[in-house]
Amino acid sequence: MADHHHHQHLPSDPALRVKALETVLTEKGLIDPAAIDAAIDAYEHKVGPHRGARVVARAWSDQDFKRRLLEDATRACDEMGSVGAQGSHIVAVENGPKIHNLVVCTLCSCYPWPLLGLPPAWYKSFAYRSRAVIEPRSVLAEFGLELDDDVEIQVWDSTAEIRYLVIPQRPEGTDGLEPDALAALVTRDSMIGTGRALQPEAKP
């Protein structure tokens, strides 16, 4: 039985503690270190915001898909192979000229992994978790987003297994762009609601 102070008996250096934990798990046959390597590789190289960007770009270019995405995002993302762990139930919310959606998890760090990968440090920070629900406008200002007073902000605090994807506004001057070119404008932050999609000329 564990008390809540086991750490007092273990090294303070987390690298040493992880090594000990991994070693004991391995010796007991409870983990295969090669599987740890594979999980790291997957989230460093394969699963990331490019997946969500493909969904958004398709919604911008295909009205029928957008309707399906807003009606049942889990099914629509499934069509594109972008559901899975920490993204079994997805709801898409659309930004417009007078409405701005922002996603947070005040209690932990819930985030749509299959669409955006693992969350950035700021999303998991005490500052973002504490402030996004009480002062979203000053939070957005720190990201460089100054919203007019007549824009309604809807903050989604992810308290269940529903994961939220923001569909940012499609930038002006993108008529005729192919979905791949549109997807390159869709940033991670624009799908959390702390940014806008890039302007075509601002594309790095």
Partner 1 sequence: MNGIHDMGGMHGFGPIELEANEPVFHETWEGRVYGISRAMTRPDGFNGDLGRYTREIMPPDLYLRSSYYERWLWGFEWALLHFGSMTLDELKAGEGSKAASPRNDALTADQVSATISHKMPSDRAIDTKAGYAVGDRVRAKNLNPSHHTRLPRYARGKTGTVRLHHGAHVLPDSHAQGQGENPEHLYTVAFTAKELWGEDASPRDLVMLDLWESYLEPV
Please list every residue from 81 through 110 that binds partner 1, using CB under 8 A. Answer: 81, 83-85, 87-89, 91, 104, 106-109
100: Cβ contacts below 8 Å, ≥ 6 apart: 140, 147, 151, 152, 153, 154, 193
Q: At what angle do helices 33-41 and 14-27 cross, to 10 degrees?
A: 130
> Residue 46: how many CA atoms within 13 Å on its side-chain side?
8
Q: Smallest distance from the beta carbon of 113 to partner 1, in angstroms?
A: 8
- By CB under 8 A, the residues from 134 to 193 that bind partner 1 are 134, 136-137, 139, 142-143, 149-162
Q: Which of 80, 99, 103 is nearest to 162 (CA)?
A: 103
Identity of the amino acid at 30: L
d(CA 104, CA 133): 8
In the complex, least distance from residue 171 CB atom to partner 1, rounded to whole angstroms: 21
What's the distance, CA 169 to chain centroid? 17
- Contact flag: residue 111 with partner 1 (CB under 8 A): no
Cβ nearer to partner 1, comparing 65 with 143: 143
Write down the least CB distance from residue 175 to partner 1, Å: 30
Instruction: Based on the shown chain and the rule CB under 8 A, indicate whether residue 204 belongs to the binding site for partner 1.
Output: no
Stretch that binds partner 1, among 64-72, 76-84, 168-176, 196-204 (CB under 8 A): 76-84
Query: Is residue 21 a contact residue for partner 1 (CB under 8 A)?
Result: yes
Residues 92-115, buried b or exposed e (16+ Cβ, 10 A)?
bbbbeeeebbbbbbbeebbbbbbb
Asked whether position 71 contacts partner 1 by CB under 8 A, the answer is no
Q: Which of 108, 125, 130, 138 is catalytic?
A: 108
Give the integer Cα–Cα distance in Å for 125 and 35. 28
Tell me the window of 35-43, 64-72, 165-173, 179-187 that interacts with partner 1 (CB under 8 A).
35-43
Q: Is 126 in the site for partner 1 (CB under 8 A)?
A: yes
- 109 vs 116: CA distance, rounded Å: 13
Q: Is 133 in the site for partner 1 (CB under 8 A)?
A: yes
Smallest gap from Cβ 199 to partner 1, in A, equals 19
Positions annotated as catalytic residues are 105, 108-110
